[in-house]
Amino acid sequence: MAQNVKLEFKPYDKLTDGGDVVVFVGADRKSARAAAGLVGAGLDETIARAADLERFKGKAKSLLVLTAPNGLAADRLIVAGLGEGEERAKLDWAALGGAVCAKLSAGGHARVVFEAPGEAPLSAEAAADFALGLLLRSYRFDRYKTKKKDDDNGGAPARVTLHVADPAAAKRAWKPRAAVADGVFLARDLVNEPPNVLFPAAFADRAAELAKLGVDIEVLDEKALKKLGMRALLGVGQGSHNESRVVLMRWNGTRDDVKPVAFVGKGVTFDTGGISIKPSQNMEDMKGDMAGAACVVGLMHVLAARKAKVNAIGAIGLVENMPDGKAQRPGDIVRSMSGQTIEIINTDAEGRLVLADVLWHVQDKYGPAFMVDLATLTGAILVALGTEHAGLFSNDDELAERIAAAGSATGEKVWRLPLAPEYDKLIDSKFADMKNTGGRNGGSITAAQFLQRFVNNTPWAHLDIAGTGMSSPASDINQSWGSGWGVRLLDRLVRDHYES
């Protein structure tokens, strides 16, 4: 989770010691008024010559790199386009920061002249968002590599100085974003860890480290889970020698009489499919079947680190789904904590069994204002939405709209899919109250319908992140297999609507 790039905010100052220098230009390819005074009098002329040769138009997020520019205080000049008008108004500063990071020299010191051409000054929030994107792009997971280059800093610069109009304001804006970066890094680390390192008890230990930030932690072992009646969750893990765990995390950031908001994560630390075993090809990816739980832990880190004025519950169900002589079988019937019975049709539809007990426990114990669960739940969501959107299901329109807005603001996009009684009929069982899969058609929807039976009318949303939580496409702010998806979205949801 350690940040490997040192970020600092300083006032505008003449640059003299070379290195990488970043300046911004508009569609006319001219820099801000202060930039030439800081970098060198021939700045705009140098940019214009290179831009003509490279057909650089200064469009938003376009980049031009000049090596050893004559007469300028830079060994490498990175020119970042901001575009004009509506294009500039809609610019994602975090994405631009990530794109710029990709062009900076590994292990070096880069300076950013954070001023835009034109009359309107750039805000402290824009500078902090740019820094956040840059830092998120720098993440690498290489702790198990024994051969590293000592000077490459994982491919990122070692130090970045942002020269801004108001350093104090930029530092204030950066402080909560630094917490977000740490939370995303924590979630990415958890998803990227190998399953022999991050089994349920080890994951629980990692989550328990949040106690250092003031988060109340309760770890339920199998004896406690049996006493509570979490037989659906325990059934998933009974074929593994690694015992199951549930971790309950509570951040108390406001008055005791304010209902908490609750976040629940699926934490299958490795999923073979159990008796309904998966094909061997790409099974190694199933170490990431705990990305929902990783997001919840990362989010709770953010809320505590930035001292969010909210009461929040984070709950994660941690199991390993393995085939064994003691493993759950297709045809078994289990009684969930809610008392409802479930016929097991396919042991590879295990995540919903884990969530069913945890969701029921959270709504029953804490009476939250709402619950949001995250799970790498169905391959069907990949068929429906690919890897650009997570699937959103909800029994509450206001909550769904707020999640969608937070997704648009952060770039962690969601797409709402339907819930309806007609789909519910597909999971009715002849032998029990329900079965754990409704078949191939509408697979993501019937999984959500299953979960809805355990929320007991609490406002609730389910995010199916099978396409976004692991092995998602590289982006401007993420080059990692584990994306940490959902941390920024849910922090934004809390910040915009639920902090007192």
Q: Which of 302, 212, 318 is nearest to 268 (CA)?
A: 318
Residues 6 or more apart in contact with residue 344 via CB below 8 angstroms: 235, 328, 329, 330, 331, 332, 333, 334, 435, 436
Pair 406, 498: CB distance under 8 Å: no
What span, in angstroms and rounded, lies between the C-alpha atoms of 152 and 141?
Answer: 14
What span, in angstroms and rounded, lies between the C-alpha atoms of 415 and 384?
Answer: 10
DSSP structure class, residue 471 = S
| Active-site residue, selected from the candidate residues 30, 206, 278, 307 | 278
The CB-side HSE value for 382 (13 A sphere, CA atoms) comes to 13
Q: Which of 115, 107, 102 is nearest to 10 (CA)?
A: 115
Q: Which of 194, 255, 230 is nearest to 316 (CA)?
A: 230
Active site residue 352: yes
Cα–chain center distance at 146: 28
Q: Residue 300: phi, psi to the nearest 5?
A: -65, -35
The CB-side HSE value for 445 (13 A sphere, CA atoms) comes to 16
Pair 112, 161: CB distance under 8 Å: yes
What span, in angstroms and rounded, lies between the C-alpha atoms of 373 and 60?
Answer: 35
Length in residues, the chain: 500
CA distances for 209 relative to 127, 186, 216, 265, 423, angstroms:
31, 11, 10, 17, 41
Active site residue 227: no
Pair 379, 466: CB distance under 8 Å: yes
In the three-class reduction of DSSP (H, G, I as helix; E, B as strand; rest coil), residue 44 is classed as: helix
| Active-site residue, selected from the candidate residues 29, 88, 177, 352 | 352
Q: Which of 60, 67, 125 is nearest to 99 (CA)?
A: 60
User: Which structure tokens are listed for 423?
Assistant: 């789909």
Cα–chain center distance at 349: 24
Residues marked active site are found at 278, 352
